[in-house]
Structure 1
Amino acid sequence: MDLEVEVYETSANGNKLREISEFSLGQELSAVQLLPDETYQRITGFGGSFTEASAHLLNSLSEENRKKVLEAYFGDDGARYSLTRTHMNSCDFSLSNYSYAPVKGDKDLKSFSIDEDLDDLIPMIKDAMAISKDGFKILSSPWTAPPWMKDNNDWRGGKLLPEYNDTWALFFSKYIDAYKSEGIDIWGFTVENEPLGNNNNWESMHFTPEEMTDFVNNHLGPKLEADGHDVKILGYDQNRGEELKEWADVMYRDEVSSKYYDGIAVHWYGSTYDYFAESLQYTHKKAPEKYLIQSEACGDSEIPKWQDDQWYWSKESTDWGWDWAPEDQKYLHPKYAPVNRYARDIIGCLNNWVDGWIDWNMVLDRQGGPNWFKNWCLAPVIVDPDQDEVYFTPIFYTLSHFSKFIRPGATRIGFENSDKSLMVTAAKNPDGSIAVVIFNEGDTSKNFTLSLGDKTINISINKKAIQTIRIPNLS
């Protein structure tokens, strides 16, 4: 029996989420068998981040192009982002250093104000909310406490002084209330962005796993609970790898240590192609009922290529480790194609228990900023505010293959794949439909038979291509 499907492809030959109904099939067909009764994690969502840099750029565009970008990300005909992130206080992708509590020694935070966010960041979030039919979750992360709360009195590095533990916990509570007063609900927090630090390059604050767990158990968790805030708390929030296992061991040591933690957040900067399956599996097994969310990823240390789709499919992009990673870690940072990195990483994460995946900046300019530290990066959408032009890169369409078709509440399902050169993942949505994402990073097209029960269909995928195959609810 024929299997009824819709097939959408993005490829190096120019397809951009193009629906395909006719296939050029060769003689050899591999097999992908879906196993819907074999179930794994529940999906929280996919999306990107609201940053001051992105919001400022959108405000620099014409109203038509500003709306075009937001519709592309949040509209029903667009990527339908469902899980997002933003920064609490400034980050590297802010226009300057700032804190909501700038007054030194203000333990009661009487000076607390989110006025800094009212011009750019909050309008971007509110306009996205107005566009999104299904809504989206917001995960908020601090890069640092105000310098006056830290032992080095600096935006960069240092640790939270013990006498300000309760003040810093109060800061989170006040932030929730302030955003709520603007009509914005905060779904969750990470306790600290990159607690292991970033060589003191931009806003940061250091925690050991023991220090963060103490802060969460004795200050942040009880304060949010006492103030009636139903909000998720995710720990760690840095790279996957051996460090992740160490943090999972401390956070999930026992019921007391894990009481206020709802999960762990991770980043991908430990490697350009290795998604560290072992550490993800280890972390999930430590606490299978808790969230495991990829909270940040971007092509870092790169200046975007403008209106050059092929560059995003070619192995010309490098990352921070290409130049100065230790010799024993160089292999983790080769040249890579940006599309390959996104597609490989998201599929690899999903197949190893990650339930949410969040990109970094939604919008950057042709320089890869603005960024006060000049830490240039890639983004799915690049804009030229001087010319009022918008470029949707192939990364945007790659992300859309997941966010548009795998919806919150979906359950990842099992599969068997006879062609190991194809990466595959699959999920069953709450409406009963199934989304299968297949990535072919090779230089030849592939043919395969997709099977669900006794129903099959023969499909071809172009070389250097990603496909989402949507199977409607058959019941």
Structure 2
Amino acid sequence: MKKITTTLVVLSSIFVFAQQKSKSKNQSFQSIGKTVTVYTTAESTNLRLTKTNNLTFSELIQPIETQICVFVNPEKTFQSFLGIGGAVTDASAEVFAKLSSDKKQEFLNAYYSKDKGIGYSLMRTTIHSSDFASASYTYVKEGDTELKTFSIEHDREFKIPLIKKAIETAGGKMTLYASPWSPPAFMKSNKVMLKGGTLLPEYFQSWATYYTKFVKAYEKEGIPIWGISIQNEPMAVQTWESCVFTAEAERDFLKNFLGQTMKKEGLGAKKIIVWDHNRDLMVQRANTIFGDPEAAKYAWGMGFHWYETWAGGSPMFDNVARVHEAYPDKNLMFTEGCVEKFDAKNYQLWANGERYGNSMINDFNNGTVGWTDWNILLDEKGGPNHVGNFCFAPIHADTTTGELIYTPSYYYIGHFSKFIRPEAKRVSTAVSRSSLLSTSFLNKDGKMVTVVMNQSEASVIYNLCVGTQATQITILPNAIQTLVY
């Protein structure tokens, strides 16, 4: 009797599993009968995230060599999408405060509303000052090793109000992480916050505690902190706030101080991001930190920037892929990028937007889960910046006229952030011509989003192919499209 009962249980389990498998298979993405809605932004036109077409699929079993194609395979999925957003710096918050109430609302909607804007869901902010502030500052008085004077009062004037308004506009949810540019001057070898230097060993614990105080202070203000990065650009000696950590130094600070302190203070669930610098040295940093089990257990993943092109070369997208393939259990996040060397004549320079599209598509296709722009807002001078490092933002405010200036970068970012939502899964996508770039994500609501970018000076007619179904689409020169289906 026992043997019969066991057999029935086993058969029942097999039947349930088969049903679940069949159900899962039946729920796989199907393109038959779907409408493809096309949104376009293109140079030398008025098209800006504009709905330009509604198309339907038909059968295309075997494309020929002369047919240009974007191939999407919903059966092959990869990383889960965390979000896209930008940084709320002191500079952004100071400029925002100068806007009229109408322009403030327009600005908030432009970034954080899914319906009226481009639906940002990710945010970075600074732990005390960066170069994008009117002056250097910290949260403690000079020499306060025990951090008894720790206070975020400075941030209550500009930064905290903007962060709160952004979260509210986004519907009350935001993945927010914070990064320091430098420890306080007294903790450093060079005794200033600027121009590099290193963290002195006698302050390792004080500095580790500083992060926890920041997180707790912000959360007391009603602002949830998702995570922190250890140090912004740890291999750069900058004229602004900076601090050098070699790979070994960052590894040892993480495993011997920061990781343990976060856990001890009840913040062990917060994410810790390492590196937070350019793609050039990211593989070596990953090998050093992720290769050490005691350090790796505290690291959620690695952040990276796009400024490796300072040396005159091309973006090193392959290094992102190398880290992803070597450490697939660690997450990758683009934590900063902007167009450097502000010049008001270049507000509408199309190449600036294309730089974003190129980076975002390549970074996502190489395993990146989230993508964070730098300042969300700057003034008509590319600042404020207390060391004159003026840069571009996707939106600028002319504080003399009160107007907002939308650059091509804003629209290129929007082709991703407006349509790809948190928890979407990246889907296998390939192109048959090098003039096109493409990536795809399947949202939790079942909508597929494919972004296609035309890098050429000519219009391209291509087929969006999903299995044996396809639809023909025209993309204008130097344009980007989002296809939702």
Q: Normalized against structure 1, the TM-score is what?
A: 0.90
Matched, 1:300 2:334: no
State the 1:404 CA deviation. 0.9
Identity %: 36
Q: 1:448 is matched with which residue?
A: 462
Greater Cα radius of gyration, structure 1 or 2: 2
Q: 1:327 is matched with which residue?
A: none
Aligned pairs (5 A) from 1:347-362: 347-362=361-376
State the 1:362 CA deviation. 0.5
State the 1:181 CA deviation. 1.1
1:300 maps to a residue whose letter is E
Range that drifts further, 428-437 or 90-99:
428-437
Q: 2:37 is matched with which residue?
A: 6
Q: 1:331 is matched with which residue?
A: none
Aligned partner of 1:84 among 115, 118, 123: 123
C-alpha contact 2:332 2:367 (8 A) present in aligned 1: yes
Q: 2:27 is matched with which residue?
A: none
Query: For each residue in 1:153-183, what CA deviation from the matched residue of structure 2 results, as whole angstroms up to 9, or x when unmatched?
Result: 1112111111111110110010011101110
Q: 2:136 is matched with which residue?
A: 97
The number of residue pairs the alignment matches comes to 439
C-alpha contact 2:353 2:410 (8 A) present in aligned 1: no
The 1:416/1:285 distance shift into structure 2, 3 A limit, reads closer
1:274 maps to a residue whose letter is S
Aligned partner of 1:153 among 185, 191, 195: 191
Q: 1:368 is matched with which residue?
A: 382
Q: 2:241 is matched with which residue?
A: 203
In 2, Cα distance between equivalents of 1:382 and 1:211:
38
State the 1:3 CA deviation. 4.0
State the 1:133 CA deviation. 2.1
In 1, Cα distance between equivalents of 2:54 and 2:266:
55
State the 1:340 CA deviation. 1.5
Range that drifts further, 140-149 or 284-293:
284-293
Matched, 1:248 2:279: no
Q: 1:329 is matched with which residue?
A: none
Give the superposed CA RMSD. 1.6
Q: 1:323 is matched with which residue?
A: none
Range that drifts further, 296-305 or 90-99:
296-305
The 1:14/1:441 distance shift into structure 2, 3 A limit, reads farther
Matched, 1:391 2:422: no
Query: For each residue in 1:316-335, what CA deviation from the matched residue of structure 2 results, as whole angstroms up to 9, or x when unmatched?
Result: xxxxxxxxxxxxxxxxxxxx
Q: 1:428 is matched with which residue?
A: 442
Q: 1:177 is matched with which residue?
A: 216
In 1, Cα distance between equivalents of 2:473 and 2:400:
44
Matched, 1:288 2:320: no
Aligned partner of 2:157 among 100, 104, 119: 119
Matched, 1:187 2:226: yes
C-alpha contact 1:3 1:452 (8 A) present in aligned 2: no
Q: 1:18 is matched with which residue?
A: 50
State the 1:226 CA deviation. 0.8
2:51 maps to a residue whose letter is E
Aligned partner of 2:207 among 168, 183, 189: 168
Aligned pairs (5 A) from 1:321-360: 337-360=351-374
2:298 maps to a residue whose letter is Y
Aligned partner of 2:173 among 135, 143, 147: 135
2:317 maps to a residue whose letter is A
C-alpha contact 1:268 1:275 (8 A) present in aligned 2: yes
1:17 maps to a residue whose letter is L
In 2, Cα distance between equivalents of 1:40 and 1:449:
23
5+ unaligned residues in a row in structure 1: which ranges?
A: 314-336
C-alpha contact 1:339 1:398 (8 A) present in aligned 2: yes
2:255 maps to a residue whose letter is N
Q: Give 3-state SS (helix, strand or coil) of 1:9's partner.
A: strand
C-alpha contact 1:3 1:456 (8 A) present in aligned 2: no
In 2, Cα distance between equivalents of 1:341 and 1:74:
22
In 1, Cα distance between equivalents of 2:397 and 2:426:
35
Aligned partner of 1:274 among 309, 314, 317: 314
In 1, Cα distance between equivalents of 2:102 and 2:136:
30
Q: Give 3-state SS (helix, strand or coil) of 1:271's partner.
A: helix
C-alpha contact 1:305 1:366 (8 A) present in aligned 2: no
Q: Give 3-state SS (helix, strand or coil) of 2:483's partner.
A: strand
2:216 maps to a residue whose letter is D
Range that drifts further, 171-180 or 285-294:
285-294
Q: Give 3-state SS (helix, strand or coil) of 2:361's partner.
A: helix
C-alpha contact 2:41 2:50 (8 A) present in aligned 1: yes
Aligned pairs (5 A) from 1:214-233: 214-229=252-267, 230-233=269-272
The 1:304/1:44 distance shift into structure 2, 3 A limit, reads farther
C-alpha contact 1:436 1:469 (8 A) present in aligned 2: yes
Q: Give 3-state SS (helix, strand or coil) of 1:127's partner.
A: helix
5+ unaligned residues in a row in structure 2: which ranges?
A: 1-31, 56-63
State the 1:2 CA deviation. 5.5
C-alpha contact 1:149 1:161 (8 A) present in aligned 2: yes
C-alpha contact 1:304 1:377 (8 A) present in aligned 2: no
In 2, Cα distance between equivalents of 1:459 and 1:187:
40
In 2, Cα distance between equivalents of 1:221 and 1:31:
47
Query: For each residue in 1:74-111, what CA deviation from the matched residue of structure 2 results, as whole angstroms up to 9, or x when unmatched?
Result: 0122111111111101000011000001231x222110
The 1:239/1:374 distance shift into structure 2, 3 A limit, reads same
In 2, Cα distance between equivalents of 1:215 and 1:97:
24
Aligned partner of 1:46 among 84, 106, 121: 84
Range that drifts further, 37-46 or 369-378:
37-46
1:253 maps to a residue whose letter is G
C-alpha contact 2:341 2:391 (8 A) present in aligned 1: yes
Q: Give 3-state SS (helix, strand or coil) of 1:367's partner.
A: coil
C-alpha contact 1:2 1:456 (8 A) present in aligned 2: no
Q: 2:472 is matched with which residue?
A: 458
Q: Give 3-state SS (helix, strand or coil) of 2:218's partner.
A: helix
Matched, 1:439 2:439: no
C-alpha contact 1:448 1:459 (8 A) present in aligned 2: yes
State the 1:420 CA deviation. 2.0
Q: Give 3-state SS (helix, strand or coil) of 1:87's partner.
A: strand
1:213 maps to a residue whose letter is R
1:441 maps to a residue whose letter is Q
Aligned partner of 1:402 among 416, 420, 442: 416
C-alpha contact 2:354 2:412 (8 A) present in aligned 1: no
C-alpha contact 2:83 2:120 (8 A) present in aligned 1: yes
State the 1:255 CA deviation. 1.8
1:6 maps to a residue whose letter is T
State the 1:29 CA deviation. 4.0
C-alpha contact 2:353 2:411 (8 A) present in aligned 1: no
In 2, Cα distance between equivalents of 1:204 and 1:367:
23
